[in-house]
């Protein structure tokens, strides 16, 4: 395969046991993601993209194969691989501030450091005024900002995002997509992002990795050659060059999906 990446996945297999029968989810997956890349994973439903993300995060162990991040093998969850969940999975008994500072605190940083880094990230996501509020008092978009802030407060090397904007309304999605891009651009971290919305995939990605139907592997890689600072062009979303990629992606996914029957049962990594 191609040159060594920052994130390397080698011959990955994931087989679940469901009611005594083996249920293969991922088979022979190989992928290399470069340092600082914004990689987006798309594909038919339950084709293993969320599973792959969870494997990179270390929440699950593969049946066979290996995953390396920055040369080190993945052996369990770690603050260096931050994960943003699809339905946020925040701690509702804590205030916004407590949620955001949980990571730094747990890692044993000094009180001063905890305060500083929490303030920095809450400011960046625009939640300073809402620090003492409880989560149920915030809108979905604001809650997900907390989701990002708490992960970024740990200064991760890799940011893993499982369709984080999927529950939000369209305009919030557009706003937050821009914010995600800006944070990525500023920090230069590697991002692996799963989404169902092809418009969003094209808008965010440098490279789109398209999955084949379950059991999954990467079927195709689509490079998106749009300007780097995409948030600066307010009309980019309505431009033909952007939608040209959207149409291309649409065709690829539809073609991939038609290769096998749509899986009827839901996959094991669905929430």
Partner 1 sequence: MTNVIEATKLKKLFRPDDPSRLLAIDGFDFEMKEGEFVTLIGPTGCGKTTFLRIVAGFEDIQGGQILFKGKPVEAPDAKRGVIFQDIRLFPWMTVRDNILFGVKSRGIKAEEQKQKLKETMELMQLDNEALNMYPDRLSTGMRQRIGVARVLANSPDIILLDEPLNSLDWVTRDYIQTTFLKLWHETKKPILFVTHNIPEAVFVAQKVVVMTARPGKTKSVVNVDLPERRWELRRDNDHYLDLVKTTSRLVEDELSKAREVEKVVGY
Partner 2 sequence: MNEIRNRALRAALPHILIWATVAIITLLPDIQAVAIETKVPILAFLVGASVFMTLLLGIGATKIFKKLSITRVLNFYDICSIFLTIVFVWELLANKFPVLDPMIFTCPTRVFQALVVKAPILLDSAISSMFLLVCGYFLGIIVGIVTGIVVGWFKVLFRVVYPVAKLIAPIPPVVYIPFALVLLPSVMYAAIFIIALGAFWPTFANVCFATHNVDRRVIEAAKMLGAKTGTILRRVILPSVLPELFAGIFIGLILAFIMLEVAEMVGASSGLGFYILSQRLLNHYDVVAAIIVVVGILVVICTVVFDYVEARALKWKVRLGA
Q: Which residues bind partner 1 (CB under 8 A)?
A: 42, 44-46, 136-140, 142, 166-167, 169-172, 196-199, 235, 237-240, 243-244, 246-247, 250, 253-254, 257, 262-267, 270
Separation of CA 177 from chain center = 12
Is 59 one of the binding residues for partner 2 (CB under 8 A)?
Answer: yes
Binding partner of residue 107 among partner 1, partner 2, none, CB cut-off 5 to 8 Å per kind: partner 2
- Residue 77 binds partner 2 (CB under 8 A): yes
Q: Rank residues 88 and 180 by Cβ distance to partner 2 and give the closer one.
A: 88
Q: Does 244 interact with partner 2 (rule: CB under 8 A)?
A: no
Give the Å distances, CA to CA, from 35 to 42, 153, 179, 219. 20, 20, 20, 22
What span, in angstroms and rounded, lies between the C-alpha atoms of 242 and 238?
A: 7
Distance from chain centroid for Cα 66: 20
> Which DSSP letter does residue 204 get?
H
Q: Does 75 bind partner 2 (CB under 8 A)?
A: no
Place of tokens 């929440």: 59
Least separation in angstroms between CB 108 and partner 2: 8
Give the relative orientation of helices 96-106 and 111-124 as an angle to the nearest 10 degrees: 130
User: Binds 231, which of partner 1, partner 2, none (CB < 5 to 8 A, cut-off by type)?
Assistant: none
DSSP strand E in 70-205: where?
72-73, 81-84, 158-162, 190-194
Q: By CB under 8 A, tell whether 85 contacts partner 2.
A: yes
Q: Cβ of residue 71: shortest distance to partner 2, in angstroms?
A: 20
Q: Does 110 bind partner 2 (CB under 8 A)?
A: no
CB of 4 to partner 1, least distance (A): 31
Among positions 107, 120, 229, 244, the unique one binding partner 2 when judged by CB under 8 A: 107
The interface mask with partner 2, positions 9-48, x = CB under 8 A, is ----------------------------------------
Shortest distance (Å) from residue 58 CB to partner 2: 8
Strand order in the sheet with 190-194: 81-84, 158-162, 190-194, 38-42, 207-211, 218-223
Cα of first residue to Cα of last residue in the chain, in angstroms, is 32
Q: For residue 109, give Cα distances in angstroms to 103, 118, 153.
A: 9, 11, 11
């Amino acid at each position: 395969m191609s040159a060594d990446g920052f994130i390397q996945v080698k011959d990955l297999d994931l087989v679940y046991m469901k009611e005594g029968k083996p249920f293969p989810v991922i088979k022979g997956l190989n992928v290399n993601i470069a340092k600082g890349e914004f990689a987006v994973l798309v594909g038919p439903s339950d084709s293993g993209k969320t599973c792959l993300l969870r494997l990179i995060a270390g929440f699950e162990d593969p049946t066979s194969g290996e995953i390396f991040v920055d040369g080190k093998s993945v052996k369990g969850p770690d603050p260096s691989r931050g994960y943003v969940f699809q339905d946020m999975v925040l701690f509702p008994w804590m205030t916004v501030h407590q949620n955001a500072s949980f990571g730094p605190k747990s890692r044993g940083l000094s009180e001063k450091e905890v305060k500083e880094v929490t303030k920095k990230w809450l400011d960046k996501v625009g939640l300073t005024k809402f620090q003492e509020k409880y989560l149920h008092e915030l809108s979905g978009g604001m809650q997900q900002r907390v989701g990002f802030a708490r992960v970024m407060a740990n200064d991760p090397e890799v940011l893993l995002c499982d369709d984080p904007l999927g529950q939000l309304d369209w305009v919030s999605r557009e706003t937050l997509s821009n914010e995600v891009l800006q944070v990525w651009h500023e920090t230069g971290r590697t991002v692996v992002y799963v989404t169902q919305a092809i418009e969003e995939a094209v808008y965010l990605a440098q490279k789109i990795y398209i999955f084949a139907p379950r059991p999954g592997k990467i079927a195709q890689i689509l490079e998106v050659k749009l300007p780097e600072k995409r948030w600066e062009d307010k009309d980019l979303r309505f431009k033909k060059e952007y939608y040209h990629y959207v149409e291309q992606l649409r065709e690829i996914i539809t073609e991939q999906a038609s290769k096998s029957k749509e899986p009827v049962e839901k996959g094991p990594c669905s929430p």
